[in-house]
Structure 1
Amino acid sequence: MARATKNNYFTEEQKLTARFAKALAHPVRIAILELLNSKACCYHGDMAEELPIAKSTLSQHLKELKDAGLIQGDITPPNVKYCINRENFKLAKVLLNKVLE
């Protein structure tokens, strides 16, 4: 019998849930999501004025959220506009609620 490895032991749903949870594992990212969820979209510069962190740090956190699929960005130099990825945001709520029930 084949031995289970990390990649085939966990379901895709479990892996995706962990990916979302990891992206949420910092208070700045929670603040970013709350800010974006309260607006249709927001420019990087506007977020930097509202959140008490450096622009470079903000960019790193935005990248984590974008890589997890929770936000999406529209890059039209010199502006970068971010908004919630509504489909994945809803999916994250469902998956995380399953874990927390």
Structure 2
Amino acid sequence: MENITNEMAELEEKAEILKALSHPIRLCIVKGLMEEEGCNVSKMQYCIDIPQSTLSQHLAKLRNLNILEGNRNGVEVNYYVVNEDAKKIIRTLF
């Protein structure tokens, strides 16, 4: 029974990653960060052409699911894709 519980926890975790990446903007963010690591919010906002507040909400969701990690560099934060499952999904799709 413990094995099924562990497996369900893993399946739920993977489902959350898939849900997060199912949104076009978040998919675009992760794909873009895989192409150009260490991008900051200003550059992402310019490339995606969405309001900064909207971008911040999407980044927060991706950070909360441990898909992205931000590293502070002075006043800006550079983002990186750190989740291997998310990287595999993006590579498979594109």
TM-score normalized by the length of structure 1: 0.73
Aligned to 1:58: 55
Aligned to 2:69: 72
Q: Measure how far apart 1:25 and its partner are.
A: 2.2
Aligned to 1:45: 42
Aligned to 2:85: 91
Q: CA RMSD, aligned part only? A: 2.1
Q: What is the DSSP-based 3-state SS (H/G/I as helix, E as strand, rest coil) of the residue aligned with 1:83? A: strand
How far, CA to CA, are the matches of 1:10 and 1:53 in structure 2? 38
How far, CA to CA, are the matches of 1:83 and 1:70 in structure 2? 9
Q: Which runs of 5+ in 2 are unaligned?
A: none
Q: Would you tell me which structure has more helix in proportion to its own residues? A: 2
TM-score normalized by the length of structure 2: 0.78
Higher radius of gyration, 1 or 2: 1
Identity of matched residues, %: 32
Q: How many residues align?
A: 85
How far, CA to CA, are the matches of 1:76 and 1:63 in structure 2? 18
Letter in 2 for 1:61: H
Aligned to 1:5: none
Q: What is the DSSP-based 3-state SS (H/G/I as helix, E as strand, rest coil) of the residue aligned with 2:69? A: strand
How far, CA to CA, are the matches of 2:24 and 2:6 in structure 1? 30
Q: Which runs of 5+ in 1 are unaligned?
A: 1-7
